[in-house]
Chains A and B, each alone.
Chain A
Amino acid sequence: MSKIHVTTTVNGDPVEFLADPRDTLLDCLRDQLGLTGTKEGCGTGDCGACSVTVDGVLVCSCLVLGAEAQGKQIGTVEGIANGSELHPLQRKFIEHAALQCGFCTPGILVAAKALLEQNPDPTETEVRYWLAGNLCRCTGYDKIIRAVLDAGAEMRGAN
């Protein structure tokens, strides 16, 4: 099966790769582009560890084909920080001990960033429902929710 030449933008950088028609965007990010921050926890869109944004829309990259990335703007965990300056969410996750093993963390950060961009002042319930597609087995979510709420407050200038 011949491969498809894909030209796209990841975290603002122009990239190109050859995708097997069956390769997911997740496979292409990890195996073709070496962006292994995005994780595969299930491959069926249930766990959210592979969350990325495609043209600003939050998706599971295991449910998107690599070929579909053509001409899009892809955002991954590697693009959340501005150089060495961490995004408030990243700082708050460390500060609140909101990660234990850290495997779900990239997907949750990408998802939480998308939430705060669309709803800068979410309630606890809104955060919980927004992140209901991101499984974490270590933390019981408590400190994750606190970190997201605190990051939102900081970004609003509320503290």
Chain B
Amino acid sequence: MIKIKRFDRKKEPNSVTMEYPITEGLNLLALFYKLKSTLDPSLSFTGVCRSGVCGSCSVMVNGKPTLACSYTPKSGDLIEPLDYHPVKRDLIVDKTKALHTLNQAQTWIHKTNNIPRDTQNLHRIERQSNCILCSSCFASCPVMAVNSDFLGPFALTRALRYTTDSLELQPLDTLTAIQQNGVWDCTLCGECTAVCPQGIDPKMDIMNMRSKSVQNGFDDPTLANMSFGFDFTQGF
């Protein structure tokens, strides 16, 4: 049996955890579909491609963001909706705010260079452009608990992908957009990297974005806030 945390804002109580039988040989998304069509048509979830590329079926499995279509359920598993996303119903969450971070970070090419990329430049953006926007990294990020305006890992990875792209003539636009509630707010805990189903490393991307920011004249606020007990302005 697995446990699914269900939510319906119109019911009282609006959240209950229910147990469901596992079917041998089915991944978690296939199991959801089987439960919905045979046991409980009101069970609500999302899932489209069934093969790990559309990014629509991520849920929390035992507290860890996971693509349902790529996970084999085990007895005792607890399935919940993604953290840090408003829950609409059962496992369906509202991704509007998470996706809006792409607008805020302006993750696109602002002005195109007419000189094509070379292989070296391509290799620096290939992995980042494998992102499927499943929001698993967003749901794993502890910064969200203290700063809900934080841009989050996938927007920052995408920011790196575009500011590194040799096609982009105006990388400063994106760099400027990610200074506030962006690169400097990350704690570098690496949770995002651990949960990415595409093997992307947002933590490393964020560290690279920090270097890039400093190289482009932005201040590192983490240094300004650092105090070693000396006041350098007074001299010794």
Q: Do A and B come from one complex?
A: no
Give residues in A with beta carbon < 8 Å to B: none
